[in-house]
A = this chain, B = another copy of it.
């Protein structure tokens, strides 16, 4: 068994079962990739792909298993290469961060700035995605780690390190009647049209659960993937906004009034996750520590607490 064969196998799967595209991606010619697959199938004595004539259309059951193990084998070779790189050049390379809009827009910038100053030779990549996509990205080694609140800690193949906890706040126009009430309740919130995050995005899971647990049904008139859209429509007077508190920026959002709702909703924990057993280069570990230190400084974000 040779690693090139496994590389071709994976490239073939990731190119949507196109031999030519896989070859291109690997800087090879088609016949080479075909041969790799042949060799693999010959050596194992099993068809790995289902074929429609000459075209490959999908994986057989055996193929799926082999792909799974091949992915892991290749990941280990990447770890080995990274060990080498870390000893040759401690502070140059690539840092690929997967994260949500909220993180990228509100939380990450200061950490990025500090990191970039400390490691100017490290190329930074930030890849945005939904929590589910972020999990996939971390597992498929498309990013080095994902920063995200949901779907991470549960995954058995990911190591998740908690970074901070946060909660939600209400944002409304300054003249809103809700502000006159002394104590806000979930029920009170239900009296107004709500603008908040779309299902599958920032903290949406616990949002709905919390209302449901009290037998309430919020009137969500607009759900958005990011906070800026929410703010925009709150300003338009379309409803009250419920956002992650840390996404409120006092300077730019002076026209909106913020009201902490952490007594109404459960705290969410944002974590950094990467595949179990993955080798993290020195500067990658550094970034994680730096990020944790950064978000632990009180006062920078409203309603953000260390875990």
- Which residues of A are in contact with B by a Cβ distance under 8 Å? 1-3, 6, 43-46, 62, 65-66, 69-70, 72-73, 76-77, 79-81, 83-85, 87-88, 277, 279
Known: A2-B2, A66-B83. 9 other contacts (CB 8 A): A1-B77, A43-B81, A44-B80, A44-B87, A45-B87, A46-B84, A66-B84, A73-B73, A73-B80
Minimum CB–CB distance for A59 against chain B, Å: 12
Contact call B88/A45, Cβ cutoff below 8 A = yes
Q: What residues of chain B lie closer than 8 Å to A2, measured between beta carbons? A: 2-3
Q: Which 4 A-B pairs have the closest CB atoms?
A: A44-B84, A73-B76, A45-B88, A46-B87
Task: Please determine whether A44 and B1 come into contact, CB atoms closer than 8 angstroms.
Answer: no
A81 proximity list for chain B (CB < 8 A): 1, 43-44
Question: In the complex the two chains form, what is the Cα distance from A80 to B83 in whole Å?
Answer: 25
Contact of A83 among B3, B65, B84, B85 (CB under 8 A): B65
**Nearest residue in B to A89 (C-beta to C-beta)?**
B45
- Are A72 and B279 in contact (CB-based, < 8 A)? no
Q: A1-B80, A65-B83, A81-B1 are in contact. Are A277 and B45 (CB under 8 A)?
A: no
Given contacts A45-B87, A84-B62, contact A69 B279 (CB under 8 A): yes
User: A69 — which chain B residues lie within 8 A by C-beta?
Assistant: 76-77, 79-80, 83, 279
| A3 and chain B: residue at smallest CB distance | B3
CA gap between A69 and B279 in the complex, in Å: 9
CB distance from A125 to the nearest CB of B (A): 23
Q: Which residues of B contact A65 (CB under 8 A)?
A: 83, 279
Give the residue of B43, B44, B46, B72 whose beta carbon is less than 8 angstroms from that of A76. Answer: B72
Nearest-neighbour CB distance to chain B for A277, whole angstroms, equals 7
In Å, the complex CA distance between A43 and B3 comes to 15
Q: Which residue of B lies closest to A83 (CB)?
A: B65
CB-based contact A72/B1 at 8 Å = no
Q: For residue A73, which residues in chain B have a CB less than 8 angstroms away from its CB?
A: 73, 76-77, 80
Residues of B within 8 A of A43 (CB): 81, 84
Instruction: A77 to B70: give the CA distance in the assembly, Å.
Output: 7
What is the bound-complex CA distance between A88 and B43, given in angstroms? Answer: 11
Q: Distance (Å) between the CB of A152 and the closest chain B CB?
A: 18
In the complex, A72→B65 CA distance in Å?
17
> Which residues of B are found within 8 Å of A279, using beta-carbon distances?
65, 69
- A72 to nearest B CB, angstroms? 5
Q: Give Cα distance in the complex from A83 to B72, angstroms.
A: 15
